[in-house]
Amino acid sequence: MSKPLVAIVGRPNVGKSTFFNRVVGRRIAIVEDTPGVTRDRIYSDGTWLNHTFTLIDTGGIEPEREDIIGAQMRRQAEFAIETADVIIFLVDGREGLTTADRGVADILRRSNKPVVIAVNKLDHQKYFDGIYDFYELGIGVPISISAEQGLGLGDLLDEVVSYFDAAEEQEENETVNIAVVGKPNVGKSSLVNALLGDERTIVSEIPGTTRDAIDSPFSYGGKDYILVDTAGIRRKRSIEDESIERYSVIRSLSAIRRVDVALIVVDAAQGLSEQDVRIAGYVHEEGKASVLIINKWDLIEKNTHTMNEFKKKLGVDLAFMDYVPMLFISALSGQRVNKVMEYAEHAYSQNCKRISTGTLNDIISEAVMAVEPPSDKGRRLKIYYATQVAIKPPTFVLFVNDTELMHFSYKRYLENYLRKSFDITATPLRLIIRQRTKKDEI
């Protein structure tokens, strides 16, 4: 399952950014005692009770405010609400229930999303009675917290993660979701239309025609799929503050999180740009299977070495994704489009790959014998045991004598050895290193 999205919502100056920083463990959001400082959503991952989730910090909602900035902040928060799996409704316990709180509560009721109400700034007994005002909203039982002092956060997060299991059960189905991602105007919608066999999405030379993530169910080889055409992801500085493209970017990133395979589309004529690498990096970090689609290949002047030279250059720029397969196509002419789903199916199967514990440990033993583990100050790294703990992506835990001895280069070596031994491509691998007492030494 993709990481659940948790949105922090409320009127300005109730402590949303302070709460955000406290949960994710570092100061990411700007904290200032002035309403409206957080003008944009900020994302970061947090962990609680073995659940990893993405927390969204939003600008404050002021339902009655009609100026441009107020309306824009309200729209952004509403988009966050729409994409979230669980919503934390943060209110100010010292100030008490306000008309703006009631307005936000009305918006949240219409969302039909799970809402946990957190009454913030209750860090002294004289403020404790302030929590009772918020029962009037009728949004569950208010939980008292102090984001500044870190009080009550455990109870709040317990309530939040309790909704994740239900979301996981809902996601379990046989349909494979495939996202088509990339910069604006690289041919994503043309590829979607070519795969679907009709023009379900608008194709235009104007960048940004697709403003939303569009889901299209279809069948291939007797299996059900959903193809997601996403809005082009631009560099942050390329997005005007008042442009709806800001919301398109958020929806595209959210789409990547909820799919199984990402088709990363690149314009062959433009080559791989810095933004293409960023998008690929996001897919990699989310643990998604992927295929690099080099589109508009028919526009390139070629000789017998052109494709190999192109692959070499892409391999240098995407060194962190050296596992990704590349497919050179033309969505408009149909060149090699018939291969796209074959590549996507293969990528999905690799993302779901399982390896038995016995076979895995045999291969790790071979790797250790071939290249001796690193040592430091007379102590050498020992790997006692390995096991696969998850798929999507394949995730392995290695139990060692001292995690500090596992150098990055040796971890990378083990990853490459596993890839070669089990012929794993098109998906990230995760190696988790844990320390334990000596047992079942390899």
Q: Where are the domains of the chain?
A: 5-170, 173-351, 357-435
Q: Mean of the per-residue pLDDT values for the chain?
A: 82
Cα 375 from Cα 368, distance rounded (Å): 13
Q: Above 80 in pLDDT, residue 72?
A: no
**pLDDT (tens digit per residue) in 353-385:** 999 999 999 999 999 999 999 999 889 999 999
For residue 71, the model assigns a pLDDT of 63
For residue 52, the model assigns a pLDDT of 80
Lowest mean pLDDT among 34-48, 177-191, 275-289: 34-48
Residue type, 41: R
Cα 203 from Cα 23, distance rounded (Å): 42
DSSP designation for 137:
G
Q: Classify domain 357-435 at the CATH class level.
A: alpha beta
Lowest mean pLDDT among 155-169, 194-208, 420-434: 194-208
For residue 13, the model assigns a pLDDT of 87
> Residue 349's pLDDT band (boundaries 50, 70, 90)?
very high
% of residues, the chain, pLDDT over 70:
79
Task: Check for a shared fold between 173-351 and 357-435.
Answer: no
Domain 5-170, CATH number (from 3.40.50.1980, 1.20.210.10, 3.30.9.10, 3.40.50.300): 3.40.50.300
Three-state secondary structure readout of 264-308 = EEEECCCCCCHHHHHHHHHHHHCCCEEEEEEECHHHCCCCCCHHH
Please name which of 38, 23, 44, 36 lies closest in space to residue 65, comparing C-alpha atoms: 36
> Residue 215's pLDDT band (boundaries 50, 70, 90)?
confident
Question: According to CATH, what is the number of the domain 173-351?
Answer: 3.40.50.300
Q: Above 80 in pLDDT, residue 30?
A: no
Between 339 and 440, name the one with better pLDDT. Answer: 339
**pLDDT (tens digit per residue) in 274-289:** 888 888 988 998 899 9
For residue 298, the model assigns a pLDDT of 93
Q: Above 60 in pLDDT, residue 262?
A: yes
Full-model pTM: 0.64
- For the ranges 1-5, 181-185, 421-425, the maximum mean pLDDT occurs at 421-425
For residue 65, the model assigns a pLDDT of 62
> Residue 165's pLDDT band (boundaries 50, 70, 90)?
low
**pLDDT (tens digit per residue) in 123-144:** 888 888 888 889 988 888 999 9
Residue type, 367: A
What sign for the dihedral angle of Cα 191, 250, 282, 171?
Answer: negative
